[in-house]
Amino acid sequence: MVADYRYHRLDGLRDYLSIAVYPIQWIVDTPVRFSSSLRTYAHSFHYQIKENERLKQEQFLQSAQLQKLMSLETENTRLRELLHSTPRKGETFSVAEIIRVSSDPFVHRVVLNKGRKQGVSLGQPVIDAEGVIGEVIEVNPSVSRIILLTDANYGIAVENVRSGVRGIAAGTGAHHRLELQHVANTVDLKIGDTLVTSGLDGRYPPGYPVGVIHSIEHDPSEAFARVNIRPLAHLDRSRQVLLLKHSSKDEP
């Protein structure tokens, strides 16, 4: 030991022994290293899972916010379209919002957020930026109920812009279809003709768009043709509508 301490006689032997013992040390240390690596991996894996969940939640929240922004943008676009509708002489508009729809699929009626306090009156016409929607059939202090053109119990007096032919467009119970009543097979009507309010029913002022003729069916055995009309108003999509107030000539 003294010789090794002073003259380093056993350095070579220690080197050989360390080389020989290294595999044994490596094998002995393997469980420790494996356990440490496993803990590190488990911690990293757990962190990745938590981070992934956090990112998914953020993405979900951002998607919801984006949907809200898209909804607001669409609503603003519709409001701009409504406000660009120019009232005619003797007519005024007021914007209202649909707050409830009928749960019965065969009853096409909706509730507006304006009523008697806001100047809504019974029989008042309701339109959107594209055309006629319906009329007010019930008025309460703060809300009102309107019937849509497509309700099976409703009809509106119309006139063909091209030919001047008049008739009654009746609801069918389907949101995208009206039917022109009692039209003779010889009447001058064409697919694509635009129908507007004639004003002869005393409820609507003349000239407001109602729909476009979508199809005409002639049956030789029947006295009348079947004329289907596609409404121009967004009856099943509009959220904001216009309440039309028309001043008659007899009013001061």
Tens digits of per-residue pLDDT, 106-158?
789 999 999 999 999 999 999 888 889 999 999 999 999 999 999 999 999 99
Per DSSP, 187 falls in state S
pTM: 0.64
CA distance 185 to 228: 14
User: Which of 37, 63, 81 is a domain's end point?
Assistant: 81
Residue 40 confidence class, pLDDT cut points 50, 70, 90:
confident
Residue 244 confidence class, pLDDT cut points 50, 70, 90:
confident
Residue 179 confidence class, pLDDT cut points 50, 70, 90:
very high
Looking at the structure, do residues 122 and 207 belong to the same domain, yes or no? yes
Beta-strand relationship, 132-139 and 125-127? antiparallel
Looking at the structure, do residues 59 and 12 belong to the same domain, yes or no? yes
The pLDDT of residue 46: 77
How large is the average pLDDT for residues 24-35? 68
The pLDDT of residue 143: 96
Looking at the structure, do residues 158 and 216 belong to the same domain, yes or no? yes
User: Which of 39, 64, 81 is a domain's end point?
Assistant: 81
How large is the average pLDDT for residues 163-171? 93
Looking at the structure, do residues 117 and 172 belong to the same domain, yes or no? yes
CA distance 143 to 132: 20
Report the DSSP beta bridge partners of residue 110: 101, 146
The pLDDT of residue 207: 87
Looking at the structure, do residues 186 and 218 belong to the same domain, yes or no? yes
Averaged pLDDT of the chain: 80
DSSP string computed for 117-141: GGT--TT-EEE-SSSEEEEEEEE-S
CA distance 204 to 233: 15
Report the DSSP beta bridge partners of residue 125: 135
Looking at the structure, do residues 73 and 105 belong to the same domain, yes or no? no
Looking at the structure, do residues 186 and 250 belong to the same domain, yes or no? yes
**CATH number, domain with residue 239:** 2.40.10.350
How large is the average pLDDT for residues 29-46? 71
Q: State the residue range of the domain holding 10.
A: 2-81
Per DSSP, 85 falls in state S
Highest mean pLDDT among 25-39, 54-68, 160-174: 160-174
The pLDDT of residue 110: 95
Looking at the structure, do residues 129 and 25 belong to the same domain, yes or no? no
How large is the average pLDDT for residues 84-95? 69
Looking at the structure, do residues 187 and 103 belong to the same domain, yes or no? yes
Q: What is the pLDDT of residues 11-22, one digit of tens each?
A: 555 566 566 666
Based on the structure, what is the number of domains in the chain? 2
